[in-house]
Amino acid sequence: MAVKAWDSSLTLPGLIVESRAVVDGTVEVSGRLASAGAICPDCANPSTSFHSRYDRTLSDLPVSGSTVRLRLSVRRFRCTHTSCQRRTFSEPLAPPVGRRYGRRVGRCDALVRAAAVALGGRPEARMMARLAMPWSRDTMLRVLRRGDPAAELPPPARVVGIDDFAWRRGHSYGSIVVDLERRQVIDLLPDRRRDTVIAWLRQNPQVEIICRDRGPGYGVAASEAAPQARQVADRWHLFENASAAFLAAVRSEMLCLRRALAPTGPVDPATLTRAERIQWDGAQLREALNR
Ligand SMILES: [Zn+2]
């Protein structure tokens, strides 16, 4: 009785195990899916019209240090719906069993992902091989890149920043949209056109605050598509504009500043930096020409 309870708790949900065997030190489990039929992926109509079956092999978590392989007998069904173009389709695997073209049982990916985060690359591959899960480094990287399907989706962005960025500097520009509360890029728009930004904002009516540059482009788009949102200038653009205004004011009053800094006579060129020397020579030249 105790063995039966242990056994059923290890069996994947939706899977009927038909046999187990140990072949060359590898535990081979044969099984099939428990469902009576399947739903056509094109027309979404159920079908129990059996067509054929084929075998798939998936790796599973090891048992007592031995590699485990699941040999799964997968059925193909006919789609009997008259208006559907599809003739046959294979039954889909439930997520705990595996992905459509996957080569591992679903519960392996969580372990691979955790090990990839902790160890990464070759150290992970070596550790997994010692744990009787000899998967390649590339396989583990693919699992990591695919992300965690069980992870919760983040809430829709409430505070966004919109700015332009260069696909290719000087040639083509797009727009970048950042969730400023999570500090993550959430979208890249193909261009800077007003219609493109308007379409994005209309798809995201939850946006409450839009942080943008001080040009009219994004502002007009935001006023039209998201009138409920408050528009603010971001800190980087404020500092950039203030810096440009300060430099322009200093340049326009350079001669007065020079005189104020050296009220008793001409500036000693030897005390100037190289950049200041170039500016000073230019100022002297202009002064001589205008005299
Ligand atoms: Zn169909």
Q: How far is the CA of 93 from the centre of ligand 1 (A)?
A: 18
Euclidean distance between CA atoms 238 and 270, whole angstroms = 37
pLDDT of 270: 78
Distance in Å, CA 12 to ligand 1 centroid: 28
Q: Residue 129 corresponds to which tokens in the numbers above? A: 């091989």
Ligand 1: distance of its center to the CA of 275 in Å?
Answer: 75
- Measured from the Cβ of residue 266, the count of other Cβ atoms closer than 10 Å reads 10
Phi/psi of residue 65, nearest 5 degrees = 80, 5
pLDDT of residue 36: 87
User: How many angstroms is it from 250 CA to the middle of ligand 1?
Assistant: 74
Calculate how far, in angstroms, residue 91's C-alpha sits from the geometric centre of ligand 1.
12
Residue 267 Cα to ligand 1 middle (Å): 88
Number of neighbours of residue 143 by Cβ within 10 angstroms: 21
Find the 37 Cα to ligand 1 centroid distance in Å.
13
Instruction: Quote the ligand 1 centre to 39 CA distance (angstroms).
Output: 8
- The letter for the amino acid at 257 is L
Ligand 1 centroid to Cα of residue 85, in Å, is 7
Work out the burial of residue 162: count CB atoms within 10 Å of its CB; fewer than 13 is exposed, 13-18 middle, 19 or more buried.
buried
pLDDT score recorded for residue 265: 60
Q: What is the pTM of this model?
A: 0.49
**Residues surrounding ion ligand 1 at CB below 5 Å:** 40, 42-43, 79, 81, 84, 86
Q: Where are the beta strands (DSSP E) in the chain?
A: 15-23, 26-33, 38-39, 46-47, 50-63, 66-78, 88-90, 159-168, 172-179, 184-189, 209-212, 230-233
| pLDDT per residue of the chain (291 residues) written in tens, 0 to 9 | 444 444 555 677 778 888 888 888 888 999 888 888 888 888 888 899 999 999 999 988 888 888 889 999 999 999 988 888 999 999 988 777 887 778 888 888 888 888 888 887 788 888 888 888 888 888 878 887 777 666 666 788 999 999 988 888 888 888 999 999 988 888 888 888 899 999 999 999 999 999 988 777 899 999 999 999 999 988 888 898 899 999 999 888 877 877 777 656 666 777 788 888 888 888 888 878 876
pLDDT at 1: 40
Rg of the chain, C-alpha, whole Å: 33
What is the rounded CA–CA span in Å between residue 95 and residue 260? Answer: 77
- Residue 102, C-beta contacts closer than 8 angstroms, at least 6 positions apart: 58, 93
Distance 16 CA to ligand 1 centre (A): 26
Give me ligand 1 centre to Cα 50, in Å.
14
Q: Please tell me the distance between residue 76's alpha carbon and the centre of ligand 1 in angstroms.
A: 13
Question: What gap in Å lies between CA 75 and CA 52, rounded to an integer?
Answer: 6
CA atoms of 207 and 51, how far apart (whole Å):
50
pLDDT of residue 276: 84
Task: Report the alpha-carbon distance of residue 152 to residue 105 in Å, rounded.
Answer: 21
Question: How many angstroms is it from 33 CA to the middle of ligand 1?
Answer: 20
